[in-house]
Amino acid sequence: MSEIKTHARAVADVIEGCIVASVEIARTPDRVFQALSTREIVDWWVNPGVFDTREWSGDVRVGGRWSASGIARGAPYTLEGEFLEVDPPRRLVQTFRALWSEDVKREGTSRVTWEIEPVGDSCRLTVTHDQLREGANAEDGENHRRRNEKQRVARLSLHEHGQAEVADEQAK
């Protein structure tokens, strides 16, 4: 996507059921919003061998649906949700429901909020994944989930320059 200006950072509050990750990106808010709200998301929302998104579709409007699918740890997965807020280029809020196993389906629906704010000639992207059930998704573990959020934010910032390998190192 663009050149990273600061390392991706993420924190998890397992009591509140919330993960927050942020990074500064050397791109305009419009460009970052476009990457988040089109099939382009497939190009960076990948963690090879762990969470490899291959398809994405979405009707980016309030009430519109989205879905994604791919391979996670060698098995197919599907994600789905609905757009709750669409405020280009500042904010995109969507529900998030994982469907790859019966245990994961029982976790229910959570929410992902993408906030983009101008910072000089760049922008800060903050991703908040909240409304997670306490102890959510024991199948993954909170550290794995937090690491994936950091890696996705870092990948978004580095994709356009072909620096995905660097994103993995910076997101650890």
DSSP string over 58-109:
E--STT-EEEEEEEETTEEEEEEEEEEEEETTTEEEEEEEE-SSHHHHTT--
pLDDT at 15: 78
Question: pTM score > 0.75 for this model?
Answer: yes
Residue 45 in domain: yes
CATH code of 59's domain = 3.30.530.20
The total of structural domains in the chain comes to 1
pLDDT-flagged residues of the chain (< 50): 1-2, 4, 137-147, 150-151, 154-172
Residue 150 in domain: yes
Residue 1 in domain: no
Residue 78 in domain: yes
Residue 77 in domain: yes
pLDDT at 28: 93
Residue 54 in domain: yes
| 114-143 per-position pLDDT tens digit | 999 999 989 999 999 999 876 554 444 434
Q: Is the dihedral of CA 58, 48, 167, 135 positive or negative?
A: positive
pLDDT at 141: 42
Residue 79 in domain: yes
Q: Compute the distance between CA of residue 49 and CA of residue 6 in angstroms, rounded to an integer.
A: 26
Residue 53 in domain: yes
Domain that includes residue 88, residue range: 9-170
pLDDT at 96: 94
